[in-house]
Amino acid sequence: MIRLKARKINVRSGGPDIVILNERIAKREVIKPMDRIRIIARGGSVVAIVNLSPEIPEDEIWLYKEIWEKINVPDGEEVLITIEEKPKAIEYIKKKLEGKELSEEEVFEIVSSINGNTLSEVESMAFVVACYTYGLSIEETYYLTKAIAETGEKLELNVRPIADKHCIGGVPNNRTTMIIVPILAAAGVYIPKTSSRAITTPAGTADTMEVLAPVDLSIEEMKEVVLKTKGCIVWGGGTNLASADDKLIRLRRPLSLDPMGMVLASVMAKKYAVGATHVLIDIPVGKRAKVRSFRDAYELKSRFERLGRMLDMKTEVIITDGSQPIGKGIGPALEARDVLWILTNDERGPFDLREKAESMAGILLEMIGKVERGEGIMLAKEIINSGKAYQKFKEIVEAQGGDPNIKPEDLSIGEYRYDFLSPRNGMIAEIDVRRISKIARYAGAPMDKGAGLYLYKKVGDFVKAGEKILTIFAESESKLDYAIKILEEKEPVEII
């Protein structure tokens, strides 16, 4: 054992648990970079990954904030250091890198190590790369789903049935969740919805809901909201539900790696963790969406349905049009405005978004048995038309700590604006969803809640020369200039 003085670094590593040792001390004790050591203090012990530096004193060990919070060690107090073996998970990751199939125990060990911050970024990334290169069998996907759910906390509502839904994403706006949840909850169905923040789009559902109410709720707060209102719309990363999934998503993001098995496990683990009994999956298909061919969509549909059966969740999958944005506003506040217009039966509410949300809500109502097959959409429409969905939405917003009386016109939209006008007469033949997303992100979305763009036209619409096609909104002049530059490099709308 080595005795060293603990020194606090008042910053977080943002990933694995890391400590820093003096190079000479490490060499004397045969400790190499990336080795594991156990730090033992009065407040407990923790295993961490070693970084080395010649700059720190030989009798000290520097601890990032995650470490000293875990073992509650005072600055300058002496701690004991022992050398630990590398996690078994590394051996199993190497096995997957060789293209071999993993057992349930091996998958659980890898996920536990990722979730417990005992693997380095490189080691964890190697697992993602192996899954991307060799794929995951349906059995491995099932093991991964359960491991992600079971290494985090679960929402225990002790009620049935519980509905949930998910969209694979890749299409701007598409804020069906914020309409479906109040419809289902108003119909008496529990629907505890965890949603993500944006990865490549101008807003995720959590970013948009955050315009109206806090979404960073604990599991206890989430449970309280759901038991009170029957629904919620919260950020999945704010809870400890399926927390390993958020770490895997962060690893996948830099290279945009989406191994099919990981996508399936990512979605279904969160449904499993909230106790969902009935799940609806939306797969938008379009040449610039995440899923670009119907062949891929049907393959994904088959796997979702099979995985749902393995997890004892009734799962239905719909394949929808992902060829253009859904709704008109793109960006958190602009999308929230669309949702409020729909729920309040305002004629400015985008029809395509409303129609899709009503259809999906109808399917869930039929799955659960609230109505006969074919009658769900009529009930969904009635719940919106009667104002029951809006009233329920206000209850959910208030329960989550927001202002239930906020109006669409109260939302702060970026003051710097640019109108993109049609250069000629013609018909809208295509709207490039990726280009639209890029423009909105350069304008500041989703970090700037009022940034984004608003579409006045859709595919199939006729336009006259000089007529507005879209408006870009930004919260600063410089970001508006960036967005305009992206638009001018390649126009996102094709007119024929």
The Cα–Cα gap between 267 and 416 comes to 37
Q: What is the pLDDT of residue 347?
A: 96
Identify whether 346 is a catalytic site residue: no
Q: What is the pLDDT of residue 398?
A: 98
Please state the pTM of the whole predicted model.
Answer: 0.89
Q: Where are the domains of the chain?
A: 2-84, 88-135, 163-239+266-399, 413-495
Question: Which residue among 258, 282, 432, 448 is the active-site one?
Answer: 258
pLDDT per residue rounded down to tens, the chain (496 residues)? 899 999 999 998 888 889 999 999 999 999 999 999 999 998 899 999 999 999 999 999 999 998 988 998 999 999 999 999 989 999 999 999 999 999 999 999 999 999 988 898 899 999 999 999 999 999 999 999 999 999 989 999 999 999 999 998 888 888 999 999 999 999 999 999 999 888 778 999 999 999 999 999 999 999 999 999 999 999 987 788 888 888 898 888 777 788 899 999 999 999 999 999 999 999 999 988 889 999 999 999 999 999 999 999 999 999 999 999 999 999 999 999 999 999 999 999 999 999 999 999 999 999 999 999 999 999 999 999 999 999 999 999 999 999 999 999 999 999 999 999 999 999 999 999 999 999 999 999 999 999 999 999 999 999 999 999 999 999 999 999 999 999 999 999 999 9
Query: DSSP assignment of 381-408, as one string?
Result: HHHHHTTHHHHHHHHHHHHTTS-TT--G
Closest CA to 332 of 468, 129, 103, 172: 172
For domain 413-495, give the CATH number: 3.90.1170.30
- Is there a contact between 165 and 280 (Cβ–Cβ < 8 Å)? yes
Closest CA to 186 of 343, 337, 338, 340: 343
Closest CA to 39 of 9, 12, 60: 60
Q: Does domain 163-239+266-399 have CATH number 3.30.67.10?
A: no
Q: What type of residue sits at position 428?
A: I
Q: What is the pLDDT of residue 246?
A: 83
**Backbone phi, psi, residue 107, to 5°:** -65, -45
Radius of gyration of the chain (CA): 25
- CATH architecture assigned to 2-84: Beta Barrel (2.40)
- Is there a contact between 351 and 179 (Cβ–Cβ < 8 Å)? no
Count of C-beta atoms within a 10 Å radius of residue 66: 18
